[in-house]
Each structure stands twice: as structure tokens, then as C-alpha cells.
Amino acid sequence: MKTNYELRYAAHPKDAKSYDTARLREDFLIQNLFVDNEVNMVYSMYDRLIVGGAKPVGETLVLEAIDPLKATHFLSRREIGIFNVGGAGRVKVDGKTFDLDFKEALYLGCGDRTVSFESVDSAKPAKFYFNSAPAHRNCPDKKVTKADAIVAEMGSLEGSNHRNINKMLVCQVVETCQLQMGMTELQPGSIWNTMPAHTHSRRMEAYFYFEIPEGDAICHFMGEPTETRHIWMKGDEAVLSPEWSIHSAAATHNYTFIWGMGGENLDYGDQDFYKYTELR
């Protein structure tokens, strides 16, 4: 196995206004999350959130403590949320096994523990997408399925944004220190997410887009509400959203995305909304 990581530094919104396409992609887009028998991650200075992926194919992959953590274990001072977006897989934590099927999630609290990833069938490998945030206390481990989620049906087909928001690793479902994660599924014929657009200065957010057919693409919108930018993305890619930025998208096909955030407020509804006509 191999572990790869990179650091991403925070940007002032005044500086981000001058970024060209290449710089926007370099700073905010996260690609190549799922490479056979690798664990790949980005350590972001936005709330020190880590965004990563692991794809075990005939091997067991260990979640190693990367150098910036200065810790003996990855979870020594961190919590983590893991979603399986591939074939059936297993997450082992100090000998305890959690089976995760497609679109099932797992929360693990902080502590000096060994975490590893496996696929049930190497011909149909699991793909584990994860977000990790700093944690100052341990919260109990818990597996969460869509049946456990708080589901909010929003939007309409007429508005091209009929979607189900599955709140899975949120404080109403599982106790966490600061990490909050969920999964939004757009219905056929709908392409817009997170509209009306909003910001939340109390926390950053990361979006991971998947279930996008080959040949289709998604356009992620970011930036200050009156100074927006966009990044074209493919499936199985993630993007970082600073606390000052909107985070919305439209695609050439309906899709699913996983949202994750860390920060000082666990209230999912803590948002500052903007009207469509206010965006620039």
C-alpha cells in the first residue's frame, strides 16, 4: 500500500478574486482520490479538515498518521467520517469490524487506534471516502445507514433541484465533536444543488461528487456571493469550500454528493442565504 498527502493553505477572498482557472483548480479541486491500493488525502488549513479516499484491491490499507499530524495514530487527536461509495467493504478498528455497503457511513471518534480498509471482493473494490476534523474528546463509534438518516426532501422538478438530503453523521443521529456529514441525492431531471446559495462563516465545507456517468460533468460554483467563480469537475472528485464561499453546482446529469464540514457550530441550519438575483 501507499499513502499520499498534500497540504492546501487557506486563501483570503480578496486574493481568490485574482485566481485564474489553473489556480482555482490547484487550490480547491481534489482529484485522484481512488487509486488501487493507495490512501490519498488533502490536509486543508480550512478548519484543518482532511479530505481523503482509500481503494483497497486485494490488500489491506492502513490509515496512517501523516507527518503534519505529529501524532502516533491518525485518530490520536481527530475524528473521522467514512462513506463507502464502491463495492462492499470493511473497516477494522483495533480488531473490531464494521461492514459497509454502498452509501453506508461510519463515524469513528478520536483515540490511539489502528484503522484499516478492506474490500470484500477485489473484483468489485470498495471505495472509502472520508473527512476528518480535529477532536478534543472521544465520541462513540457508530455505523449509520440511509435508514438511520434524517431525510429532508427539498426542491422540485420544475426548479431542476428535486433532491433528498440524507443527514447521516449529524448531531441528531450520532454524537460527534465537530464533524458533520451527509449525502444529497438528486432525482432524475434535476441538476441544481444547494440553491438558493448560502454561506456559513462558522464552518467550511467539502463536497464530493459521484454517480456522474462517464462523459458527463458537473460545474461547481464557489466564491463570494457577489464575486462567484466556477470549477468544472468529473465524478469521484471533491472540492473545498472556504467559509466565505458559496457552494453550489449544476451538472449535465443528475448526481449524488457527500457534504462534510467542521467548525464551531453543529447546527446544520446555521446558514446565511442569498437570493438568486443577488448572485454576481
pLDDT digits (tens, 9 = 90+) for 228-250: 999 999 999 999 999 999 999 99
Q: What pLDDT is stored for residue 170 in this prediction?
A: 95
Q: Please compute, for residue 170, the number of CA atoms within 13 A of its CA located in the half-sphere on the CB side.
A: 19
Q: How confident is the model at residue 270 (pLDDT cuts 50, 70, 90)?
A: confident
Q: How confident is the model at residue 201 (pLDDT cuts 50, 70, 90)?
A: confident
On the 0-12 / 13-18 / 19+ scale of CB atoms within 10 A, 33 is buried
pTM of the model: 0.96
Tracing cell 448572485 back to the chain, one arrives at: 279
Q: How confident is the model at residue 263 (pLDDT cuts 50, 70, 90)?
A: confident
% of residues, the chain, pLDDT over 70: 99
Distances in whole angstroms, Cα of residue 37 to Cα of each of 143, 211, 237, 275: 24, 22, 18, 44
Question: In this predicted model, which residue has the larger pLDDT, 147 or 271?
Answer: 147
Q: How confident is the model at residue 266 (pLDDT cuts 50, 70, 90)?
A: confident
Q: What pLDDT is stored for residue 277 in this prediction?
A: 87
Q: What is the mean pLDDT of the chain?
A: 95
Distance of alpha carbon 136 from alpha carbon 78, whole angstroms: 8
Distances in whole angstroms, Cα of residue 206 to Cα of each of 20, 49, 168, 242: 21, 9, 15, 9
Question: In this predicted model, which residue has the larger pLDDT, 153 or 263?
Answer: 153
- pLDDT of 195 higher than 90: no
- pLDDT of 272 higher than 90: no
The gap between the terminal CA atoms of the chain, to the nearest Å, is: 45
